[in-house]
Structure 1
Amino acid sequence: LFFPEQRSCFGFPVSVFFIVVNEFCERFSYYGMRAVLILYFRYYLHWDEDLSTAIYHTFVALCYLTPILGAIIADSWLGKFKTIVYLSIVYTIGQAVLAVSAIHDLTDNNRDGTPDNLQLHIALSMVGLLLIALGTGGIKPCVAAFGGDQFEEDQEKQRSRFFSIFYLAINAGSLISTVLTPVLRAQECGIHTKEKCYALAFGVPAVLMAVALFVFIIGSKLYKKESPQGNVILRVSKCIGFAIRNRWRHRSKRYPKREHWLDWAQEKYDKRLIAQIKMVMKVLFLYIPLPMYWALFDQQGSRWTLQATTMDGNFGALIIQPDQMQMVNPILIIFMVPVFDVAIYPLIAKCGINFTPLRRMTIGMFLAALAFFSAALVQIQIDKTLPKFPGTDYTQSKIINLGNSQANVTLLEENLNYSVDPYKATDYFNFKTHSVQKLQVSYQNNTTNTDLSFHSGTRETILLTDKYEAKLLEDLQEKPEQGNNAIRFVNALQQDVTIKVGSTIFENVTSSSATNYTLLPRGSHEISLETAHRYCTRKSLQLGFGSSYTILIKGECTGETFDLEYIKDIDPNTVHMAWQIPQYFLMTCGEVVFSVTGLEFSYSQAPYNMKAVLQAGWLLTTAVGNIIVLIVAEAGQINEQWAEYVLFAALLVAVCIIFAIMAYFYTYVDPAEIEAQFDEDNEKQGLELQKANGFSNSDRCVSQTKI
């Protein structure tokens, strides 16, 4: 319909351009959704960090388990084209359901901002993610192979270039979406309440997935569609199962031993297939330690993103969102792959070092471990800047003086003495909660005693009113999340006021009282003050990331402005996000020498018809790696995040040593040579059989010609 005559373009089949565009849109959809997913769990569904991490890695694990199902469906039943179409429909529905689950006005909202019917949002989220995992995993083994099917046998060069373009489309989609969707998430949207716009951040990837499906379908008339040929994974599984059962049936000592346990399948399967499976099993055995690498690698989207929420994202002209830091990986990949191929590998070869594929993979695992040691060092520096909240049986307090003269305050039982100037505050101080019940305030020639009831394990502000009476204000008990800033206002005037900041309005704030905290993003914000007779505005100070302030309104409107006094409750984030770049650099270098090399190694060591089996095994290692993360997140119960990073790094170093030993004893093979030997043996057996039956060479030639 669209291209009735034109079947090639620039030497490529026109059909492959539809496949490349489809892959770009699909990868945009997947990585865009995944970039903000951990923050959606943490700050929209309000799960804790461990549960958010566990669910995130469960989802990623499912995405790498379902490719086996997709391969079986495509090869044994529907074929690649129909499998891609049907599962892409499932995929698109899943993205749409996830976007709907993030609509904040879907139900009423509680005072803390969480949806009133939170279970509905969670249920829709889980349904959407399950459909996405089935869709993206199911089409994963089909799309690239379907693209390769479009080329003729004599188009090896074009096919090779296609896969390079295909890989570029993957990274381009990943990079653009990782930059864009965090920007969409950071917007405020909603009809009744203004919240971070996760619905938009998920909705755009849903639209891109629909575009991917549409583009793929309109190229239907141009595709070469091969019929299902039977699934090699099932054949291999059946052969292995038969060998195990047969060996078990003949386990008594009177049966002679065989050279390899797979040889017990010779009663039913030919030796060529068994030899091919032996080659595959040797590689799969090497895969056993690999999940530990993926356990670290995929934490870029979970733990590292959460780490970035406690850091300063001000890059001068650019303000980087925490989930945007993931873009460092695809950017570095685009540059590092050619650098390694063109410069580093040839340089190592010139130095006379035999840098074999398995040695490269070992180095890649070691670099990933170094990346996590680097992340631990960054986390230690972050922890030094975090506020120290009180432990059990202790209270942390500060004193704010709203009076016009200096106040001397004594916590009688602890004999703690503080002098506080007008409209100023002390620093936080600690004391045993139940040891302090009375507060003595002296100013000028007057002294008053006030009974106070402090709460254990909390931060509280002692607010001295203009009459030097004392009241308690509950302070934040944790650092503001997502890099936001928490501010509240204290009215030090003698009249009621209305305060507006951002989209939040505090009406009729009485004298000597405080508002609730409101969250504001980085930057300067307009603050409006309205009294009975005047209205004025002024700009706030420049807020950073993760700070908290109590702002005293100490002066009425004078002209167009009014006086404010800022009292810092929590310092802003001071560790810059740029310190994450070394860990991303190390992880990306590890990915280049581990992941890319691993795929090449698996391809070179696999028989021509068993490459799909090793691809399934390779994807399975990623799934198992994510399962390791969720086990550690849920069962580890490690209080310090830096210690968890060190634990993962140490485990990978140990696994790296084991893998190096396994690699040392591995013997590289040429599958083509081994298969050729079986072809020669079969030919010799055929000749011997013909001679035994009285055939000559000429008879054989005639016979074969007739056949």
Structure 2
Amino acid sequence: MAAKSKSKGRSVPNCFGYPLSIFFIVINEFCERFSYYGMRAVLVLYFKYFLRWDDNFSTAIYHTFVALCYLTPILGALIADSWLGKFKTIVSLSIVYTIGQAVMAVSSINDMTDQNRDGNPDNIAVHIALSMTGLILIALGTGGIKPCVSAFGGDQFEEHQEKQRSRFFSIFYLSINAGSLISTIITPILRAQECGIHSRQQCYPLAFGVPAALMAVSLVVFIAGSGMYKKVQPQGNIMVRVCKCIGFAIKNRFRHRSKEYPKREHWLDWASEKYDKRLIAQTKMVLKVLFLYIPLPMFWALFDQQGSRWTLQATTMDGDFGAMQIQPDQMQTVNPILIIIMVPVVDAVIYPLIQKCKINFTPLRRITVGMFLAGLAFVAAALLQVQIDKTLPVFPAAGQAQIKIINLGDSNANVTFLPNLQNVTVLPMESTGYRMFESSQLKSVMVNFGSESRSENIDSISSNTHTVTIKNAAAGIVSSLRSDNFTSKPEEGKNLVRFVNNLPQTVNITMGDTTFGILEETSISNYSPFSGGRTYDIVITAGSTNCKPTSEKLGYGGAYTIVINECSGDVTQLRYIEDIQPNTVHMAWQIPQYFILTCGEVVFSVTGLEFSYSQAPSNMKSVLQAGWLLTVAVGNIIVLIVAGASKLSEQWAEYVLFAALLFAVCIIFAVMAYFYTYTDPNEVEAQLDEEEKKKQIKQDPDLHGKESEAVSQM
């Protein structure tokens, strides 16, 4: 039931005991988190497959963006507390945020540009410039409002609504995870759609456009509640005062280095000439916690690679889950799903069991365990990567060439590779695998069917992978040469499909929405990409005969040659040849590493926030919140440094390197935690207040009598 309560002379609408305004804030946060995580889910694939950046550069730009998102909260807090206030800051930066999302959607539109023969935009610089502009605006928007929205929600409650305020933060956290979970499921599906006016392409404009629309909705919903909000005016930023106090203490210490000035118990005490004892004591408590934060960025360096390295790892895996076909970027949903399940389980079951075992599982010990688990998750990722690498084909390096022979005839073929002089016998209706040669040792192939022979010249300069079809027809030996140009497995887990005509007449072939055109006898079509995990309708027209078979179910990341051996009436004979083996390691094998990392997140992140709150002075909790967010930014910068400096050629080795670094940092943090002394900020502040009161009474003895009189009149 809706009701109204009084707040400083004005009516505040209530619903079920909560200020009605918070529902606008919760919906706003859900839409904003949907927008951010939805865009971020497909970002690294956009870099790799649309902008055509390699894995390392895509990862570097991704983590630069995430770091920027966690650096800008400091700017947002300064603007809100010192100048505009929380409401105006959220509105202003949300407008910037919405524009940034719209720019990202526009940057991914390919149809309005000139395209080269590969379907990539020729004016790629325009797309890069728009993408970087959009990402900078998004980082400024999402980071700037991050420290404001939750605090603004807390401002809506009265002093007597402590219970409702606590529940609000739980609902607020749930809206964050709900937005993250739903968007990470939906936007990869939107990306995987084919769209375009002049060409068929991955639908990044839709994958970025929907988050842009949700951000616009977020802004409209937030403004719609404007008349109900309690808007606290800016009081000046405590972070600025803390920084000035630290700066003055350092400056004063070095100014008075001579021995005539007495030593002080703590270096911050050198600020006592200008700042009061209470601020100095509070700053000491903050710096004590911030010192403990120094090792923490290494955890985030591993954690945020879910959206970069782990997503790229998933592109080389099999996403067939039976009734569902999972996209590589959808695997990121495992984390929020596990978070929603594990947070209550850990709080209600795990921690009480540990307590019953009489184990003193302090907050700092929990954080240490969380770091250790994140390291184990990367060990699991490395072991999985080793298994993936075993299934990857070997592609020719510089100075090498590969060739495959397909025998379409009805008798054995003897093939000689010249000038190497290697011989191979190819059985009827069979094929060789790709055979590797030095380029100088593969100039031509000599084909012999009995006494008949035919030579096919090979150009290993313009291409390093070739397929030759051979057939002993009535008119003699017929052969066709096709350059395959393989340098890697098909992108995004798609498949490449081509057709070979083994009929005595020309055929016209269509598969799904793709037309392969007319093929002569023994001719080989070009490869065309098809999504994995499904079948396609094939239409083969041979003269007046139409054959309409359904393709076999394609895997993920494979390349197939389909040989048409017969098309007559209701009879169709197709033979499938795997040119590149599809992905055989299932994406489900990523779940263990996600599970271990999420366990680490639960005991690290949640505990870290609680610890920071409990150890922070009453008016400096925002300072430690900004410091906590800063560790995330530094963690993403560490990824850039380590990945750039290591120069490791094997991905599994990079995973092991990050795990080893975190284990080392975990030991350092455990030592720091051992020597840390927990404090009660409320007790320290109360003691300081008592000392200040005694000091005032000493200076003015009448003050004590006035206080006693005031108490007796109450």
TM-score between both structures, scaled by the size of structure 1: 0.96
Report the alpha carbon displacement of residue 455 of structure 1 after superposing the two structures with TM. 4.6
Q: 2:509 maps to what in 1?
A: 499
Q: 1:545 maps to what in 2?
A: 556
State whether structure 2 residue 124 is matched by structure 1 residue 129.
no
State whether structure 2 residue 64 is matched by structure 1 residue 58.
yes
Report the alpha carbon displacement of residue 393 of structure 1 after superposing the two structures with TM. 3.3
Q: Is the 8 A contact 1:501 1:525 kept in 2?
A: yes
Label 1:45 to 1:699 Cα distance change in 2 as closer, same or farther (>3 A).
closer
Q: Is the 8 A contact 1:403 1:468 kept in 2?
A: no
1:590 to 591, 595, 600: 600
2:158 to 149, 152, 165: 152
State whether structure 2 residue 44 is matched by structure 1 residue 35.
no
Report the alpha carbon displacement of residue 470 of structure 1 after superposing the two structures with TM. 5.2
Report the alpha carbon displacement of residue 36 of structure 1 after superposing the two structures with TM. 0.8
Q: Which amino acid aligns with 1:539?
A: T
Deviates more, 1:571-580 or 1:557-566: 557-566
State whether structure 2 residue 428 is matched by structure 1 residue 422.
yes
- Secondary structure at the aligned position of 1:142 is classed as helix
Q: Is the 8 A contact 1:175 1:327 kept in 2?
A: yes
> Matches of 1:551 and 1:82 in 2, distance apart?
62
CA RMSD of aligned residues (A): 2.1
Q: 2:623 maps to what in 1?
A: 613
State whether structure 2 residue 705 is matched by structure 1 residue 698.
yes
Report the alpha carbon displacement of residue 100 of structure 1 after superposing the two structures with TM. 1.3
Q: 2:676 maps to what in 1?
A: 666
* 1:142-541 pair list within 5 angstroms: 142-455=148-461, 458-466=464-472, 467-468=476-477, 472-475=481-484, 476-522=486-532, 523-541=534-552
Report the alpha carbon displacement of residue 659 of structure 1 after superposing the two structures with TM. 0.4
Deviates more, 1:374-383 or 1:97-106: 97-106
Q: 1:70 maps to what in 2?
A: 76
Q: Is the 8 A contact 1:51 1:634 kept in 2?
A: no
Q: Which amino acid aligns with 2:279?
A: L
Report the alpha carbon displacement of residue 271 of structure 1 after superposing the two structures with TM. 1.1
State whether structure 2 residue 687 is matched by structure 1 residue 677.
yes
Q: 2:118 maps to what in 1?
A: 112
- Secondary structure at the aligned position of 2:529 is classed as strand
> Matches of 2:571 and 2:21 in 1, distance apart?
65
Report the alpha carbon displacement of residue 414 of structure 1 after superposing the two structures with TM. 3.3
Q: Which amino acid aligns with 1:304?
A: W
Q: Which amino acid aligns with 1:675?
A: E
Q: Is the 8 A contact 1:392 1:456 kept in 2?
A: no
Q: Which amino acid aligns with 2:198?
A: H
- Secondary structure at the aligned position of 1:245 is classed as helix
Label 1:678 to 1:486 Cα distance change in 2 as closer, same or farther (>3 A).
same
Q: Is the 8 A contact 1:365 1:652 kept in 2?
A: yes
1:647 to 648, 652, 657: 657
Q: Which amino acid aligns with 2:705?
A: S
Label 1:457 to 1:235 Cα distance change in 2 as closer, same or farther (>3 A).
farther
Q: 1:563 maps to what in 2?
A: 573
> Matches of 2:640 and 2:117 in 1, distance apart?
31
Q: Which amino acid aligns with 1:111?
A: R
CA deviations over 1:369-399 (Å, ceiling 9, x no partner): 0000001111111111111223343322221
Report the alpha carbon displacement of residue 419 of structure 1 after superposing the two structures with TM. 1.3
Q: Which amino acid aligns with 1:201?
A: A
Stretches of structure 2 that go unaligned for 5 or more consecutive residues are: 5-10
> Matches of 1:423 and 1:591 in 2, distance apart?
55
Q: Is the 8 A contact 2:107 2:130 kept in 1?
A: yes
CA deviations over 1:487-513 (Å, ceiling 9, x no partner): 112233344332222222232333333
Q: Is the 8 A contact 1:389 1:458 kept in 2?
A: no
Stretches of structure 1 that go unaligned for 5 or more consecutive residues are: none
Structure 1 stretches of 4+ moved >6 Å: 2-6, 702-706
**Percentage of matched positions with identical amino acids:** 66
Label 1:507 to 1:3 Cα distance change in 2 as closer, same or farther (>3 A).
farther
- Secondary structure at the aligned position of 1:574 is classed as coil
Q: Which amino acid aligns with 1:663?
A: A
- Secondary structure at the aligned position of 1:104 is classed as coil
Deviates more, 1:635-644 or 1:63-72: 635-644
Label 1:171 to 1:634 Cα distance change in 2 as closer, same or farther (>3 A).
same
Report the alpha carbon displacement of residue 700 of structure 1 after superposing the two structures with TM. 6.1
- Secondary structure at the aligned position of 1:93 is classed as helix
Q: Which amino acid aligns with 2:460?
A: F
> Matches of 2:114 and 2:546 in 1, distance apart?
33
> Matches of 1:697 and 1:15 in 2, distance apart?
44
- Secondary structure at the aligned position of 2:42 is classed as helix
> Matches of 1:121 and 1:436 in 2, distance apart?
41
Q: 2:7 maps to what in 1?
A: none
1:656 to 659, 663, 666: 666
> Matches of 1:631 and 1:397 in 2, distance apart?
41
Q: Which amino acid aligns with 1:549?
A: Y
Report the alpha carbon displacement of residue 638 of structure 1 after superposing the two structures with TM. 1.5
CA deviations over 1:101-138 (Å, ceiling 9, x no partner): 11221313222121232111111111111111111101
> Matches of 1:544 and 1:571 in 2, distance apart?
9
> Matches of 1:88 and 1:315 in 2, distance apart?
38
TM-score between both structures, scaled by the size of structure 2: 0.95
Q: Which amino acid aligns with 2:555?
A: G
Label 1:92 to 1:442 Cα distance change in 2 as closer, same or farther (>3 A).
same
CA deviations over 1:308-342 (Å, ceiling 9, x no partner): 11111111111111111111111110111111111
Q: Is the 8 A contact 2:468 2:479 kept in 1?
A: yes
Q: Is the 8 A contact 2:467 2:483 kept in 1?
A: yes
What is the aligned length? Answer: 701
Q: Is the 8 A contact 1:393 1:457 kept in 2?
A: no
Deviates more, 1:399-408 or 1:43-52: 399-408
> Matches of 1:155 and 1:248 in 2, distance apart?
48
> Matches of 2:508 and 2:706 in 1, distance apart?
107
Q: 2:147 maps to what in 1?
A: 141
> Matches of 2:52 and 2:574 in 1, distance apart?
33
Label 1:410 to 1:72 Cα distance change in 2 as closer, same or farther (>3 A).
same
CA deviations over 1:232-279 (Å, ceiling 9, x no partner): 111111111111111122223433222211111111111110110000
> Matches of 2:241 and 2:642 in 1, distance apart?
36
- Secondary structure at the aligned position of 1:79 is classed as helix
Label 1:680 to 1:316 Cα distance change in 2 as closer, same or farther (>3 A).
same
